[in-house]
Every structure is written in structure tokens, then in C-alpha cells.
Amino acid sequence: MQDPSGFIGPGTTVKGNLTGAGDVVVVGKVEGTVSLKDQLTIEEDGKVFADVEVENLAVRGEMSGDINAGDKVVIAATAKVVGDIKAPRIVIEDGSRFKGTIEMVVKLPEGI
């Protein structure tokens, strides 16, 4: 990930709908819904209590809500995730905590 377009710092809470393009890093707290065209990264001290629709998601902190990713979801060893995941590629590292269901969606070329 390059430099993020957005940063939600420690001690900051965002309540409502977070939408946009570019990469966003969360070290604070987000409650509501998140819809981004690029990457969302939840750092170890970050907490997201929202349904998330993104291209890529990396969770190192805490996340509660359903995830719909266009490309990839990575749940790091330090993460705690509760919710259903829908994505073509999913990585769950050893030591992470996950409760929910997983649906691996396959992107087929047009015409098939």
C-alpha cells in the first residue's frame, strides 16, 4: 500500500457512512458503513464496527461486520474479526480470531 489517502488516528471516532476512493488506514474507531474503491487497513489499535465494501482489506485490529471485497481480505495474526466474508481471495493467519462464514467468489471472464 502506498501513502494512504485517509487516516483515522488514535482517539478519533467516525460514526456514519465512510465512502470514497484511495487507501484508508484506521488506528481509531469507525462505526457505521464503509465503502471504498481501494484498500482499507485496520491497524492493531484500530476498531471497525461496520459493514465493509472495499477492493482490499487488511485487518490487524478488531472488526465486526460483514465484508465484501472485490479482490482480497487478509486477517493478520493479531486480528479479531466477527462477520461474514465474501471475496475471491482470503488469507487468515495462524493466531487470528475469526467467527463467521466465508464465501469465495470467482470472477469469470465475460462470455462464460
2 pLDDT more than 70: no
Query: Per-residue pLDDT tens for 25-77?
Result: 999 999 999 999 999 999 999 999 999 999 999 999 999 999 999 999 999 99
Distances (CA, A) of 34 to 6, 71, 110: 13, 16, 28
Domain boundaries, the chain: 6-95
pLDDT of residue 4: 65
pLDDT of residue 91: 97
Q: Report the mean per-residue pLDDT for the chain.
A: 93
CB atoms within 10 A of CB 16: 10
**Residue 108 pLDDT grade (very low, low, confident, very high; cuts 50, 70, 90):** low
Distance, in Å, from the CA atom of 2 to the CA atom of 10, rounded to the nearest integer, reads: 20
